[in-house]
């Protein structure tokens, strides 16, 4: 199981000390088969990479520029640059960025170039509350998958993170049955081997016992709770107990 910590626009050099507990946990037997990946803001990627030098915790970025080459793009960072500083993952298509205008086409380009740079992609999809109420969840997800992965044949380095927009940061999660059916629906969109599927949206030590019942999930993308080492560790522990 994969446990991806999305720190969003939080954290500074001081927050690195909070990682000691997680590093210790990652070296213990309690981690079982859990794989931990931290996606801090760009400013902390190198510090996290150094901090995790002697353990198996991986790092990833929260977004990237769509160009695969260096160029005059003030304020941006591309996948090659991320790979060169030790990142192995990148989150692409997060709803917080879609909301700001990231289109499926742009997301598709980002994914293509991230794969070219040999990064693993955590490709976020999810419906808004309005879309859900209108019964359009499957339609939205199918479109996001179709356009986001257009002309991408090599999909072995892609993880799909199903993150209902109405669940992010709200404390609300889908009903287990509903979530199970959606995961099944996503898997069916792929001929042959389906990518690994993560669930994201208000995952916490309180609701992980329900979420872990969905056997078809390969892990979780965790926002708010991942900034608290105790909560993050608890989520992993409870997944296996
Ligand atoms: C996220 O935004 O990726 C996320 C999962 O956030 P939260 O866990 O805070 O809902």
Give the integer Cα–Cα distance in Å for 63 and 102: 11
DSSP 3-state percent helix, strand, coil across the chain (nearest 5): 45, 15, 40
163 as an active site residue: the answer is yes
pLDDT tens digit sequence for 155-179: 999 999 999 999 999 999 999 999 9
Angstrom distance (rounded) from CA 123 to CA 92: 5
How many A from CA of 202 to the centre of ligand 1?
6
Q: With 90 as the cut, is the pLDDT of residue 116 above it? A: yes
Q: 190 near 227, Cβ under 8 Å? A: no
Model confidence at 192: pLDDT above 90: no
Tokens of residue 236, six digits? 């992993």
**Cα 234-87-120 angle, rounded to 5 deg:** 80
Tell me the CA–centroid distance for residue 24 and ligand 1, in Å. 24
Of the residues 96, 127, 131, 163, only one is catalytic, namely 163
Return the residue whose CA atom lies nearest to atom 8 of ligand 1.
223
* Superfamily of chain region 2-240: Aldolase class I (3.20.20.70)
CB-ligand 1 contact for 221 (6 Å cutoff): yes
Q: What is the C-alpha R_g of the chain?
A: 17
What is the Å distance from ligand 1's center to 134 Cα?
23
Dump pLDDT digits (tens) for 43-93: 999 999 999 999 999 999 999 999 999 999 999 999 999 999 999 999 999
* pLDDT of 184: 96
Is 94 among the residues known to form the active site?
Answer: yes
Which among 94, 96, 102, 131 is annotated as catalytic?
94
User: Confidence class of residue 191 from pLDDT cuts 50, 70 and 90?
Assistant: confident
pLDDT tens-digit series, residues 127-148 = 999 999 999 999 999 999 999 9
Q: In this structure, which residue's CA is closest to atom 6 in ligand 1?
A: 223
> Where do the domains of the chain lie?
2-240
């Amino acid at each position: 199981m994969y446990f991806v910590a999305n720190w969003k626009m939080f954290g500074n050099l001081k927050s690195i000390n909070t990682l000691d507990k997680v590093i210790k946990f990652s070296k213990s037997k309690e981690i079982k088969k859990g794989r931990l990946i931290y996606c801090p803001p760009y400013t902390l990627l190198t510090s996290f990479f150094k901090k995790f030098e002697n353990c198996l915790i991986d790092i990833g970025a929260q977004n990237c520029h769509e160009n695969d080459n260096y160029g005059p793009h003030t304020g941006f960072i591309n996948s090659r640059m991320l790979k060169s500083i030790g990142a192995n993952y990148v989150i692409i298509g997060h709803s917080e960025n879609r909301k700001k205008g990231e289109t499926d086409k742009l997301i598709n380009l980002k994914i293509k170039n991230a794969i070219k740079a040999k990064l693993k992609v955590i490709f976020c999809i999810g419906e808004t509350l309005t879309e859900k109420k209108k019964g359009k969840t499957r339609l939205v997800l199918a479109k996001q998958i179709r356009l986001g992965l257009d002309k991408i044949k090599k999909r072995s380095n892609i993880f799909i993170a199903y993150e209902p927009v109405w669940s992010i940061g709200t404390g609300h999660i889908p009903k287990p049955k509903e979530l199970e059916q959606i995961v099944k629906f996503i898997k069916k969109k792929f001929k042959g081997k389906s990518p690994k599927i993560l669930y994201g949206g208000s995952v916490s030590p309180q609701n992980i016992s329900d979420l872990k019942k969905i056997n078809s999930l390969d892990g979780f993308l965790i926002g708010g709770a991942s900034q608290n080492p105790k909560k993050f560790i608890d989520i992993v522990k409870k997944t296996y107990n």
